[in-house]
Every structure is written in C-alpha cells, then in structure tokens.
Amino acid sequence: MVKPLRKAVLPVAGLGTRFLPATKATAKEMLPVVDKPLIQYAVEEARAAGIEQFCFVTGRGKAALVEHFDIAFELEQTLLERNKQAELDLLNDMKVEPGSIVTVRQQVPLGLGHAIWCARAFIGEDPFAILLPDDLVLADTPCLAQLAEAYQRTGGNVVAVTEVPPEQTNRYGILKIGKDDGRMVEVTGLVEKPAPKDAPSNLSIIGRYVLLPEVIDHLARMERGAGNEVQLTDGMARMIGNSPFHGLRYEGRRFDCGDKVGFLEAQIAFALKRDDMAPAVRDFLKTYIKDCI
C-alpha cells in the first residue's frame, strides 16, 4: 500500500541575495506576486494536493512568514467594524488548521539538502512533498497535485521537470533519463548544475518534489556538492536504484521568482489571469510595448 502524502517541507532559509536590497529585512518568500506573497501560493498549492502538515525551514529575519498564517485579531476586528466583508473573506480563506504549521531553524544556510535534513524529525517515516516558494507554477491542475497523483501510481520519488535551454544546465539539477513516455521519465541519474558539455540531458528539476523519507539518511552524510553546499540533488541521486524515481513533465508554466526577470514575468502572467485587472494590464502592455520597442 502506498503511504498517503500529507506532509510538506517549505525551505525558506535562503538569503535571497539576488533580491537585495528588497530582502535585507524582508523574507524573499514574502514578496507578493500581484497581491499574494509567494509563501501563500505555495501553501495553497500544497493544500490543494491534500497536504495537511507543513514545516517551514526558516532562518533569521523570517518571522513574518509564520506570522502571515496567524490570526490578525486587531486587523480582523477593524475590518469587521468597517464592514469590509470582501477583505475579511480573503483572510478567512487563508486560515490553516491550528497546529498544522511547524517551523525548524536552519541556523546557517548550508544548502537546500541541509535545509531538508533540518526537517528530519517532522518527516519521520513518511513520504513528503517539498515546495520551493520562489518557483511559482501557473497551471489548471496545481503542480503538486499532478506530482501527488504520479506518486500514488508509482509509490516512489517523483520530481517536477521541464526542458531548459541546453546552455542553461549549469543553473539547475539535471536528469539522466531512462524510459520516457513523453510525460513521465524514469530517472537513472541526477547531477546538480552540470556544465552544458557534461549535462546528461536538458531536463531540469523545478522546485516541486515528492520524496521518500530515506533521502534523509543520505543527506545526513553532509557531503558538500556544487557551490560547496549540501545539495538535495546529491541526496536524491543516492536513492536511484533503491526505490522508484521518476520525473514528471508537469502541465503548466513555471516562473522562477528567485530571479528578477522571472519575478516580473510572474507579475504580468498572474495579473492577466485576474478578471479585475486583466483589461487594464493588457491595455498598458499594448501601449507601453509600442512605445518601447
């Protein structure tokens, strides 16, 4: 029997140096796309995939991320007194079950693999999802729900993958692939940030994973990989051959919100999905682009 997927780890302890000075005193994951912080998109996507328990791996200056999911008593009282029902509904919709969010601290950001290892007590013996909040996926079926369905079918590790330009393999975790049915690919190897000439493919992992708990034992070796960081990719690579491992070409479009251009693209794409904003944004783009190009 495949164990149900109920837990998610959200690593949010990175320094966000590419967004300085915005991230000097604010967590990168609190930056909003349109009007919602990245962390909220990630939590909503996880809930839509059946996740019930969340672990934020945090660091210094990240308190607002946890605060964001607490009750804002005075604000809610004021909104009530002012009859602001629509705003109150927004806050009510994002309420999570009491006790469903825990945090662990990654005192020093030694890499994504180290961040996940920090959540080992939360993970225990259960399969778990990982969502990197700075990867935002616009999709009809939320990306993690697609992965969760693939996990149910295979009972093993599943990562969301997409083709990247061959010259960009040195930015991502890259798959070596076996059988490929066009949507699911069998993973036979994983390399973190290979130079284009060494890359086994141009299929890259994005920030959505469903993993078996055994990965923690491999991460516990604390081996340093690319960038002298403890890489999640290296820990995952050690599971290949011991348990099923697949890449899923998810349906949807990914925006790398850890990158300034990706972040701007996400603002536009998500605004264009909003009935209340799309006409004005479209008008602006039409005239602005005409003037600029």
Q: Which residues bind ligand UTP (CB under 6 A)?
A: 11-18, 28, 57, 106, 109-112, 114-115, 132-134, 258
Q: How far apart are CA 166 and CA 169, in angstroms?
A: 6
Q: How far is the CB of 191 from ligand UTP (least distance, A)?
A: 16
Residue 115 token pair: 């961040």
- Distance in angstroms between the alpha carbons of the first and the last residue of the chain: 57
Beta strands in 41-127, from DSSP E residues, in sequence order? 53-58, 101-105
**Residue 111 or 127: which CB sits closer to ligand UTP?**
111
**Residue 106 or 154: which CB sits closer to ligand UTP?**
106
Q: How far is the CB of 56 from ligand UTP (least distance, A)?
A: 9
Q: Which residue has the tokens 């005075």?
A: 74
Q: How far apart are CA 204 and CA 165, in angstroms?
A: 10
**Residue 221 or 274: which CB sits closer to ligand UTP?**
221
| DSSP state at residue 161 | E
Q: How far is the CB of 11 from ligand UTP (least distance, A)?
A: 3
Q: How far is the CB of 131 from ligand UTP (least distance, A)?
A: 9
- Could you check whether the bond before residue 196 is cis, i.e. omega within 30 degrees of 0? no
Q: How far is the CB of 109 from ligand UTP (least distance, A)?
A: 3
**Residue 111 or 235: which CB sits closer to ligand UTP?**
111
Contacts of the segment 271-274: beta carbons below 8 A, 24+ positions apart: 271/34, 273/138, 274/34
**Residue 111 or 225: which CB sits closer to ligand UTP?**
111
Q: DSSP characters for 70-88?
A: S--HHHHHHHHHTT-HHHH
